[in-house]
Amino acid sequence: MKDKNTFTIGEYTFHSFHEYRDGKEDLKKISIIQEKLDIQDPEVAVRIYRDIRDGRLTFKTAIGKDFSNHISDIVAEKSKGLIADREVVAEADRKTGYTRWIGVALTCAAAALFVYFGGQQILSARRAKQAEELRAQKAAAAESAADADKAAGADDASSDAITNGGTKLTQPITDPFAQTQITDPSALTILPEYETLYQRNSDLAGWLTIADTDIDYPVVKTTDNDFYLKRNFDKQADSNGTLFIDYRCDIVNPTTNTIIYGHNMNSGQMFGKLSDYYEDADFFAAHRTISFNTIYEKRTYEIVAVCLSDVKYQDSDEYRYYNFISASNQADWDAFVNNVKSQTMYPDALDLAPGDELLTLSTCDHYKDNGRLYVVAKRTS
């Protein structure tokens, strides 16, 4: 069993989160270089080599060191005809030796990734088009409803009301762990912007948006947590899946915590950009507001924690954040909050109190085997 404090990226192992984050930064730099430049071009390789040698391009981990060695190998192999850079070639030649195999390994890995992602590009474009079509359908329905309201002289504020079907969805005041009012879903009216999409798929539960990001998707809910793992909104086979709510949650009579799951896609789709929250503190500070509208009402949340965890072994007694749905007492609440305190990247942002209505976004993260990233937000309106 691996040390739970060990982080991995491929074959590289790190013994702290900060080292792991440095490794991801190095990998991101390398990916950009390989995407923008042909490192097999001798002139390009020499230029990169000089930038590394002169400190204009720096790396912090073994990933970057191996890439630097790989560039040295390329320079030594391919740049001997560049008269003006013979001193660079000579220096690079001295560095090849036993590290030459690293270049071969990196080249093979890069070639394999190129083929894989090249094959995925068409699928990603198709999925992006499908997502845009869903957004356009929602926007068209909202515009049509607004036009109808305007023609009828309706008050625009009514579309933002939390009151629906004569029943106000609210937290009890006296006991934060008791639900004193139960709403019958049949008494509620679907918001106009979701009517067409609901007709298309009655599993529609709402819509999740984080401004200035690619997270802008419909959210579904069914009777299990498996169906939409590999199916799109139209229930067709799709490895992207669809954002879905844990079947144990209730959007009409909200449980303490509503959990939304989504895949961490390499394309950045679905929850592929959630990792920006722990990789970039400035991003976290600028994107703490989440809009999660159910099909019945509009809701806004503020992010209070960004956490790394993992899926626990069956025989482990460690806390499982993904099983926190309802707090029936103070002990339940404290257990969840204490776990979040121990895992959050931003402890100063954590501000929770009994009675808060929570939203958790959960996805995979490959910082370790069966790693998970989850973002906790509390409802503000």
What CATH number does residue 309 fall under?
Answer: 2.40.260.10
Least confident among 197-206, 271-280, 348-357, 365-374: 365-374
CA dist 48 and 44 (Å) reads 6
- Taking Cα atoms as reference points, which of 367, 290, 301, 375 lies closest to residue 340? 375
Q: 287-327 pLDDT, tens per residue?
A: 999 999 999 999 999 999 999 998 888 888 889 999 999 99
**DSSP run (H or E) holding 378:** strand 371-379
Domain range enclosing 62: 7-95
Q: With beta carbons less than 8 A apart as the criterion, state whether 9 and 23 touch.
A: yes
Q: 323-353 pLDDT, tens per residue?
A: 999 999 999 999 999 999 999 999 999 999 9
Q: Is residue 100 part of a domain?
A: no
- Are 187 and 294 in a shared domain? yes
- Are 84 and 168 in a shared domain? no
pLDDT at 273 over 50: yes
Residue 235 DSSP SS3: coil
pLDDT at site 5: 62
Residue 305 DSSP SS3: strand
Q: With beta carbons less than 8 A apart as the criterion, state whether 288 and 306 touch.
A: no
- Are 64 and 152 in a shared domain? no
Q: With beta carbons less than 8 A apart as the criterion, state whether 193 and 200 touch.
A: no
237, β-bridge pairs: 231
- Taking Cα atoms as reference points, which of 286, 281, 262 lies closest to residue 365? 262
Q: Is residue 59 part of a domain?
A: yes
95, 119, 149: which is the final residue of a domain?
95
- Taking Cα atoms as reference points, which of 229, 379, 376 lies closest to residue 294? 379
95, 127, 161: which is the final residue of a domain?
95
CA dist 354 and 104 (Å) reads 56
- Are 250 and 351 in a shared domain? yes
Q: Is residue 113 part of a domain?
A: no
pLDDT at 22 over 70: yes
CA dist 358 and 255 (Å) reads 8
- Are 194 and 330 in a shared domain? yes
95, 124, 146: which is the final residue of a domain?
95
Q: Is residue 107 part of a domain?
A: no
**DSSP run (H or E) holding 257:** strand 257-261
Q: In this predicted model, which residue has the larger pLDDT, 182 or 352? A: 352
Q: How many domains is the chain built from?
A: 2
- Are 53 and 202 in a shared domain? no
Q: Is residue 89 part of a domain?
A: yes
